[in-house]
Structure 1
Amino acid sequence: MPTFQSLADEARLTFANLSGSVTDLAVPSVRLGVTGLARAGKTVFITALVHNLIHGGRLPVFQAAAGGRLTGARLQPQPDDAVPRFDYEAHVAALVNDRIWPDSTRQVSELRLTLEFESAQFLARRLGRGKIHLDLIDYPGEWLLDLPLLSKTYAEFSASALRRARAPNRKALADRYLSLLEGTEPSGPESEQDAQNLSAAFKSYLAACRSDAHALSMLPPGRFLMPGDLDGSPALTFAPLDIPADAPPSRTGTLRAMMERRFEAYKTHVIRPFFRDHFARLDRQIVLVDVLHALNAGPDAMSDLEEALGEVLTAFRPGRQNWLSSILTRRIDKILFAATKADHLHRDDHDRLEAILERLVARGIEHARFKGADVSVLAMAAVRATREASVRHKGEELPAILGTPLPGEAINGENYDGNCEIAVFPGDLPHDPDTLFSPAGELGIQDHGSGSAADPALRFLRFRPPKLDRTAEGLTLSLPHIRLDRALEFLIGDRLA
């Protein structure tokens, strides 16, 4: 049975959709959500997408551009005045001029790109050029992991969080938090100091889980690691307590009642506004996944990423759109899952990278397709930082990638300063993705260079953005990519047909 709060939210969403539909009568719009967990490349994706459309980049699979029907692309003021603007200009400068990767997504931001095109349909072409607004909504994937909390009680949240914290691959990371918990009596008197100590220890544990060495993904509540202007507020100062999942609400005045109250405040003041004002208004969605980062950390990280993506997918509102449903309630009718940093592998392994990602999101894909959404999986690099080459090693011709490692990256004890280009043998991903989810299968990667197959630096170095060539007139060429055009064609190609 829907709660009064959820009914009120749905009414507000319907009103917002009605208002948007009136505006769309003049120029239609598509709200594209761009998300992904930490280091997946959300900022880079949006920057590269806009840069290639504005500067006429090579997009052979994006039919509107390849056929010459895309006649213009320009930035416009965004429709939502209360949402921070995506700082496209600063991010382009970082990539093109400084050759550094832009800062990661820390909050919701928005950018409007207006596309002018000629329709592929004869009758529509006779009516003149078409125009569409592409509204890009950038938000942290960690916030998606909060949405399932809306349907959970504090006791259910505590039980699931403690189950994960006590798992063999997390227990050592959660040691300080679990030690504090042992000396805590949930039914004892409420204490601000106890709440702060437990919350700080729990947040430190989440931060340790997200570090490169472990690369774990199931880390709700998402705002604990990205507090923003709520840092230090009671709504972000709580932690799970050791109570049964079916425990009834506690009596007032206890520590547990204090935690329950703050958990509900988190849902009211953090999760619901995000869902109502941003997430529930999306038309299409791309989910970027840094599979290679999880591969470096091993099977535990891969299994954890699978669980996180499963939670993310339960938060979506997929469905087939028609003119009536789009007026009353928006549904996400296209979802693209993209494995990023495909340029860190030779192209012969891209199909295997896609197969691994499809294995990770298999449950969610089935659910979304059942609801009527169109779902696809893709290996891509929004900005290609490497080139491919063949190198002879001990009489054998090996596929290699050439690139400039970021300052501080190292192979076999040799550190790089960010100026030297090197050749790397990335190795081969396994044919069977299931081997990556079992410790017995190790990582299934064959090392063609010196060093062990478990050496993550040898397999997946981090590279600097590429140095762009300039035309005779001094104009910088568009950012190179791998399959960014395929992503565009899937996500918006039908709207420019």
Structure 2
Amino acid sequence: MSQLSDLLFETSVAASSLKDYLSGARLRLGVTGLSRSGKTVFITALVHQLTRAVAAKTAGPGRKSLLPVFRVAAENRLVSAHLDPQPDDAVPRFAYEEHLSALTGADRHWPQSTRRISELRVTLQYDRKAAGLMSSLRPGPARLDIDIVDYPGEWLLDLPLLGKTYAQWSRETLEAASAAARATIAADWRGATALTDPLGNANEETARRLAALFTNYLRAAKTDRYALSTLPPGRFLMPGDLEGSPALTFAPLPVQEESAPPAGSLAAMMERRYEAYRTHVVRPFFRDHFARLDRQIVLVDALAALNSGPAAVRDLETALADVLTAFRTGRSSLVSTIFRPKIDRILFAATKADHLHHTSHDRLEGVLRHLTSRAIERAEGVGATIDVIALAAVRATREAIVKHDGESLAAIVGTPIEGERIGDDVFDGVAEGAIFPGELPADPRNVFRGDALALPEDDADFRFLKFRPPVAALGRDMEPMPLPHIRLDRAMEFLFGDRLG
């Protein structure tokens, strides 16, 4: 029965892939990252840069290109970019206009973060590079449809559950919760679990109580204080329309891996609901969305993990390894493109690079490369191209040299969000502040020993300031021009620049 189910699953994926291929020149780009990593801002900034790139070229004399590394724009071959209706009618549309208004409006603020899957199609028209006879036989601009699929990274971390039984998942989850970094916040749930008989009669009240305590533990682990990353099942933190359903009302129990729990027991009920979660939540996401991706960017808030300490850094390393394990990587061929697409390029991006001075950007990349090194080696072995960068899709700060106690220090300057504070100073959301961000260690291995940020003064408050988006300049049409960024053009070139030759 399992083999038949897998065959039907693979057939449906192949059918979807064939449909995508026959639709013409297109690329499906997955955008993900764990919560608060900047997915919504990245997509909004990416689309805004593309759709306003031509206007930016003529915005005024002496204006520098905002996308110097994105070759099709730097070479003036980008004819136009515009939004088109997305191909998947059953998937919510990414609220681009709403998010852009949040970033560039009079009360500029960061848009709401990703809570569900969404999609957006941006269509590029571009001039081909002159390449002999074939170029002359295809007059006029070429076209590429980029279907951007936005989904929470927590859902991605659910994909390994497809290969784990309830007993295996329970054992791993209980073991992880007993580690020093998690034991305190998991104490209430672990205590209730220890007092529960898995082989006792199934009881809905017990199941709901354990599921609620388990969810509280996951929620606490996600806060800035702990910044832990490996917290499946992902829908427990983002339930959406599944909230309160049996598929989200289960929790790990200490059960035997060699034998099934007796019918009618609490463990049997929990196992059945775990299987329902895999069947009705995880598998459809993989089949309908994830398995059809061509390229992928994974946004990582490495600074949050660094600020929380070595335990969070190690947990982030584990999460990133799980992320790469979930991807179907390899070199694309005509057959795989038509029937079984593979992700042949993956970009890991350490976000919020504007919170550091540029002298630490290479070190931030080095930290992320070190965190992903073992997983990257496996993926590159099967033909996938992987890169690591530090970026800020929207740059909220600028750099300056500031005198502090008679010493010249490299600082970042921006407008902190109202209510942010340094010591006794509380910002009003209007006044700018100069922050000394410190610098990352030259040896990325030091982050596992807790040597994450070296500050001029040992004051962790400097690390957590949140800044408002910058003020957007208006173009000749009185519409907002693209906001400044750090290496967004490099990300664009890596993810789809090769398709614009």
Encode CA deviations 1:208-244: one digit per residue, 9 max, x unaligned.
Answer: 0001111111100000000000100001000000224
1:170 match: secondary structure? helix
- Where 1:361 maps in the other structure, the secondary structure is helix
Alignment match, 1:496:
500
Paired residue for 1:99, among 108, 111, 114?
108
Q: Which residue of 1 aligns with 2:3?
A: 3
* Alpha-carbon shift at residue 377 of structure 1 (Å): 0.4
2:467 corresponds to which residue? 463
Question: 1:251 corresponds to which residue?
Answer: 262
Q: CA offset at residue 6 of structure 1?
A: 1.9
- The SS at the match of 1:134 is strand
Q: In the aligned structure 2, how far is the partner of 1:79 from the partner of 1:20?
A: 9
List per-residue Cα deviations over 1:375-432 (Å, max 9, x = no partner): 0000000000000111122332211100011122111132212111010111010011
- 1:111: which partner in 2? 120
Match of 2:195 among 183, 201, 218: 183
Report deviation, 1:328.
1.4
1:476 matched to 2:484? The reply is no
Bigger shift: residues 411-420 or 201-210: 411-420
Instruction: Give the corresponding residue for 1:142.
Output: 154
Partner of 1:303: 314
2:202 and 2:360 map into 1 onto residues whose CA distance is 55
1:272 maps to what in 2?
Answer: 283
CA distance in 1, matches of 2:2, 2:382: 20
For residues 28 and 134 of structure 2, the distance between their equivalents in structure 1, rounded to whole angstroms, comes to 23
CA deviations 1:458-492 (Å, max 9, x no partner) are 12421110011234663422111000000000000
Distance, in Å, in 2 between the alignment partners of 1:2 and 1:420 is 62
CA distance, structure 2, for counterparts of residue 330 and residue 394 of structure 1: 58
Corresponding position: 1:121 with 2:130: yes
Task: Between 46-55 and 116-125, report the one with greater CA deviation.
Answer: 116-125
- Is structure 2 residue 233 aligned with structure 1 residue 221? yes
Unaligned runs of 5+ in 1: none
Is 2:154–2:232's contact at 8 Å kept on the other side of the alignment? yes
The yes-or-no answer on 1:402 pairing with 2:413 is: yes
Give the one of 418, 436, 442 matched to 1:425: 436
CA distance in 2, matches of 1:367, 1:48: 32
Shift of 1:444: 4.0
1:208 to 196, 220, 230: 220
Cα shift readout 1:68-122 (whole Å, capped 9, x = no counterpart) = 0010000000000000000000000000003111111011100000000001133
- Deviations along 1:332-390, whole A, 9 cap, x unmatched? 00000000000000000000000000011112211111110110000000000000111
Residues in 1 aligned to 2:261 and 2:364: alpha-carbon distance in whole angstroms: 48
2:29 is aligned with 1:17: no
Superposed CA deviations along residues 140-191 of structure 1, whole A, max 9, x for unmatched, are 0000111000110100000000011111111110111011112100000000
What is residue 385 of structure 1 aligned with on the other side? 396
Q: In structure 1, what is the Cα distance between the partners aligned to 2:22 and 2:497?
A: 23
Report how far residue 19 of structure 1 moved: 1.7
Which one-letter code corresponds to 1:334 in the other structure?
Answer: R
Correspondence for 2:143 = 131
Written as runs of structure 1 = structure 2, the 5 A alignment for 1:257-336 is 257-336=268-347
Residue of structure 2 equivalent to 1:485: 489
Aligned residues of 1:44 and 1:101 also touching (Cα < 8 A)? yes
Secondary structure of 2:182's match? coil
Query: Which one of the candidate residues 55, 68, 76 is aligned to 2:76?
Result: 68
Matched, 1:234 2:216: no
Contact 1:13 1:329 in 2 (8 A): yes
The answer to whether the 8 Å contact 1:251/1:257 transfers is: yes
State the TM-score, normalized to the length of structure 2: 0.95
* Contact 1:195–1:239 under 8 Å retained in 2: yes
Give the aligned partner of residue 33 of structure 1. 30
Question: Which one-letter code corresponds to 2:123 in the other structure?
Answer: T
Query: How many pairs were matched up?
Result: 486
- Contact kept? 2:391, 2:487, Cα under 8 Å: yes
Name the Cα RMSD after superposition. Answer: 1.3
Q: Residues 447-467 of structure 1, C-alpha deviation per residue, up to 9 Å, x if partnerless?
A: 12xx41xx3321242111001
Whether contact under 8 Å (2:306, 2:452) holds in the other structure is no
* Structure 2 unaligned regions, length at least 5: 57-65
Measure, in 2, the Cα distance between the counterparts of 1:456 and 1:191: 46
Normalization by structure 1: what TM-score?
0.96
AA aligned to 1:447 is L
> Is 1:376 the equivalent of 2:387?
yes
Instruction: Indicate conservation of the 8 Å contact 2:309/2:452, yes or no.
Output: no
Q: Which moved more, 1:359-368 or 1:89-98?
A: 359-368
Task: State whether residues 343 and 386 of structure 1, in contact with CA within 8 Å, keep that contact through their aligned partners in structure 2.
Answer: yes
Give the structure 1 partner of residue 87 of structure 2. Answer: 79
State the shift of 1:296 in Å. 1.2
User: What is the distance in 2 between the residues matched to 1:363 and 1:355?
Assistant: 14
Q: Return closer, same or farther for 1:215/1:307 CA change in 2, 3 Å cut-off.
A: same
Partner in structure 1 of residue 63 of structure 2: none
- Secondary structure of 1:169's counterpart equals helix
